[in-house]
Amino acid sequence: MKPSLSYLRRQTSRCGFSLVEVVLATGIMALGVVTILGLLPHGLELSRKTANEQSETRIVDQIVGELQTINWANLEAGVQENRFFDDQGLELVEGQTGGADINSLLSYVVQVNLPPLDVRLPSNDTNANRQVNQNLRRVIVKIIAAPIANFNFDAPASGVPIKTVTQLVANTGLEL
């Protein structure tokens, strides 16, 4: 006995996907994969920028914290030449790098400036000549995210962007 034609059609139609279904599924999957791969470089760039911001914030916090704990009379001594930091925002000190060359670990170069006392706080005094506050000092921290140890912050010839952060340091009377 021969199977009928309608019975064979019913059997073959249940065996798998049709060509149209396969093409649509492949197209939808390809669209999703291309979209995700297209966003990957943007995500990596955003992650890199976030890591830089976090390291720069850690550097500024460390420097301002050090200046906050220095004896107010010796505040100028807390300002050195350029300071060097690694990619995590940790300071690189000669002899404390575990035998590695500082230049191989260098990621950030920092300069700290202490301008003369110039902070004037707002008050109810109508006199335009407000007194300079003797217990507040402005700190200017300049950071570059490049391993250039001898970078000149005063005359930057290269196209390296300089991030400048200004903070106020208060005389707390604490001497640690």
pLDDT reported for residue 131: 80
How far is CA 82 from each of CA 4, 59, 175, rounded to the nearest angstrom? 91, 13, 25
The pLDDT of residue 125: 67
> What gap in Å lies between CA 67 and CA 74, rounded to an integer?
10
Distance of alpha carbon 176 from alpha carbon 173, whole angstroms:
10
Strands (E), the chain: 83-85, 108-113, 136-144, 162-170
pLDDT tens for each residue of 101-112: 788 888 899 999
pTM: 0.73
What pLDDT, on a 0 to 100 scale, did the predictor assign at position 160? 83
DSSP helix, strand, coil percent of the chain (3-state; round to 5):
40, 15, 45
Q: What angle is formed at CA 174 by the lines to CA 168 and CA 59, rounded to 5 degrees? A: 45
For residue 3, what pLDDT is reported? Answer: 63
Give CA–CA dist 64/69, Å, rounded. Answer: 9
> In this structure, are residues 140 and 112 in contact, taking their beta carbons and an 8 Å threshold?
yes
Domain range annotation of the chain: 19-170
C-beta separation of 142 from 162 below 8 A: yes
Q: What is the pLDDT of residue 164?
A: 93
Q: In the chain, which stretches have pLDDT less than 50?
A: none
